Amino acid sequence: MRVLIAEDQPLLRDGLTRMLTAYGFEVVAAVAEGTELTEALLTHRPDVSVIDVRLPPTFTDEGLRAVLAARAESPALPVLILSQYVEQLYARELLSGRTGAVGYLLKDRIGDVQQFIDAVRRVAAGHTVMDPEVVSQLLHHRGSLDGLTPREREVLRLMAEGRSNAAIADALTITEKSVSNLINALFAKLGLPPSTTDHRRVLAVLAYLNQ
């Protein structure tokens, strides 16, 4: 599986390269600046990219803007964004599209190697992966969820993290049928049409929460 890395800190960039290589990924490029990133993405068209939001020269949003520029030409590029903090604006911009797998993780998650590698593989496979802390803040930011029961809120949070019905059922120790019923109920309350595609389902929920 081919992966591209964009990270300005040499030690972290090297660490990510070594880690991903050890788990069977082929690192096709490792760039340090936003000015290099768009071209690298379009040249290599990797199976997944791991990209820091803030890259030189201004350390604001070069990573994200390079991704958006590349996806304007190649919308299906799977991208996993790394950020030091929960930045709702970046999450909203990343989720504004409806094609291409996306992920948004806090850098702290890299310390859990298995969790990080799993996130990279899930994005490469076409899934949406959102950091639980990002989801939590988006849920807090959205004020029109008062009609949901506590259990429906739990399901929404887990679903927004990209979990399947089976994974949600396992986490809450309930049946998959119960999960399905809860999802249908919360979709109805939020005015969202049900979808059989997990990726579209997660994007729809997160887009709603991030309005």
CATH of the domain at 186: 1.10.10.10
In a shared domain, residues 59 and 142: no
Question: Which pLDDT score, from 0 to 100, does residue 3 have?
Answer: 98
In a shared domain, residues 174 and 187: yes
In a shared domain, residues 152 and 170: yes
Query: Look-up: residue for tokens 């290599």?
Result: 44
Question: Which pLDDT score, from 0 to 100, does residue 148 have?
Answer: 83
In a shared domain, residues 103 and 169: no
Question: Could you tell me if residue 191 is left (phi over 0), alpha (psi between -120 and 50 degrees) or otherwise beta?
Answer: left
Question: Which pLDDT score, from 0 to 100, does residue 161 have?
Answer: 73
- Cα 54 from chain centroid (whole Å): 16
**Taking CA 166 as the corner, what is the angle to CA 165 and CA 172, rounded to the nearest 5 degrees?**
85
List the chain residues with pLDDT less than 50: none
What pTM value is reported for the model?
0.75
Question: Which pLDDT score, from 0 to 100, does residue 102 have?
Answer: 84
In a shared domain, residues 22 and 109: yes
Query: Look-up: residue for tokens 């490029």?
Result: 29
In a shared domain, residues 85 and 106: yes
CATH code, domain carrying 114? 3.40.50.2300
Domain boundary among 130, 160, 183: 130
Question: Which pLDDT score, from 0 to 100, does residue 130 have?
Answer: 80
Which 3 state secondary structure label does DSSP give 32?
A: coil
Q: How far is CA 27 from CA 49, 87, 154, in A?
A: 9, 27, 37
Count of C-beta atoms within a 10 Å radius of residue 210 = 18
CA 49 to CA 36: how far, in whole Å?
14
In a shared domain, residues 119 and 186: no
Question: Which pLDDT score, from 0 to 100, does residue 184 have?
Answer: 86
Write down how long the chain is: 211
Q: How many domains does the chain contain in total?
A: 2
In a shared domain, residues 8 and 98: yes
Domain boundary among 130, 153, 168: 130
- Cα 16 from chain centroid (whole Å): 17
pLDDT per position as a tens digit, 34-50: 999 999 999 999 999 99
Q: Is the peptide bond before 57 cis (omega within 30 degrees of 0)?
A: yes
In a shared domain, residues 146 and 112: no
In a shared domain, residues 81 and 160: no
Domain of 80 in residue numbering reads as 2-130
In a shared domain, residues 143 and 199: yes
Q: Which two tokens stand for residue 159?
A: 């679903």
Question: Which pLDDT score, from 0 to 100, does residue 190 have?
Answer: 76
Domain boundary among 115, 130, 145: 130
CA 110 to CA 186: how far, in whole Å?
32
Which 3 state secondary structure label does DSSP give 45?
A: coil
One-letter amino acid at 5 equals: I
| DSSP character string of 65-98 | HHHHHHHHH-TT--EEEEESS--HHHHHHHTT-S
In a shared domain, residues 160 and 146: yes
